Amino acid sequence: MQNLDHMLYLGAFLFAVGIAVIVVKRNAIMVLLGLELLLNASNVNLVVFNRIHAGRIDGQMFSLFVIIVAVCEAAVGLAIVLRVYQYYKTSVPDEVSELKD
């Protein structure tokens, strides 16, 4: 049980780092990396919790699906970042700000 606690701390740590990366880093590519950290934090949690609630493999199945969705999201995200780069010549979200109140 002790080991599993450590794994949950790992998940929380990954989540915190992911959020920090998204907030602090200014480049959209880095934001995408932060997103991957967030998703993987959930993956760690799901797999660990599946250990606790053994019997069914819900959590592990879920994490497999999350991995697939993460790939799709990265693909769509990179395509959008590319398009933004074509118009703005930058991928820094703060500098992409034509739409305002």
Partner 1 sequence: MESSVALSLQDIITGLRVFTPELMLGGGVVLLLIIGLFTNDIHKISAVALLVLMAVAYAQYLRDIPLTSEISHELFSKMIVVSNFSSYMGFLLDLGGILTVLMSWPYFLHADKLKEGLEQRRRFVSEYYLLIVVIVLGGHLLISSVNLLMVFLSLELISLPSYALAGFLFNKKSSEGSFKYFLFGAVASAVMLYGFSLFYGQFGTLDFRRDDLFATVPWSPLLVVSVVFSMAGFLYKIAAVPMHPWAPDVYEAAPTPIVAFFSVVPKLAGLAILVRFVIVSPYDNGNPAVMHALALISILTITVGNFSALVQKNPKRMMAYSSIAQSGFLLVGLVALSASGLQFMIFYSTIYLLMNFLVFYYLQYFELRGFTTIASYQNAGSKYLWPSIFLLVGFISLTGLPPTGGFTAKLFIFSALWESYSNHAHRGDQILLWLFIFGLLNTVVSLFYYLRIPYFAFIKNWESTPKTNILTSSPVAYDSFIGRSSIGNLLGLILVIVLLLIFFAPGLLMGWINKINFVL
Among 20, 52, 67, 71, binds partner 1 (CB under 8 A): 52
Q: Any contact of residue 46 with partner 1 (CB under 8 A)?
A: yes
- The pair of structure tokens assigned to 81 is 């970042």
| Interaction between residue 65 and partner 1 (CB under 8 A) | yes
3 is a site residue for partner 1 (CB under 8 A): no
In whole angstroms, how close is the CB of 77 to partner 1 at the nearest point? 6
CA 59 to chain CA centroid, nearest Å: 17
| Region for residue 90 given its phi and psi (left: phi exceeds 0; alpha: psi -120 to 50; beta: otherwise) | beta
Three-state DSSP class for 99?
A: coil
Q: How far is the CB of 52 from partner 1 (least distance, A)?
A: 7
Interaction of residue 99 with partner 1, rule CB under 8 A: yes
By the 8 A CB rule, do 93 and 28 touch? yes
Interacting residue with partner 1 among 17, 25, 49, 90 (CB under 8 A): 49
Q: Return the structure tokens found at 15.
A: 């989540």
Number of other residues whose CB lies within 10 A of the CB of residue 63? 20
Q: For the window 9-38, what string marks contact with partner 1 as x by the rule CB under 8 A?
A: --x---x--x---x-----x--xx--x--x
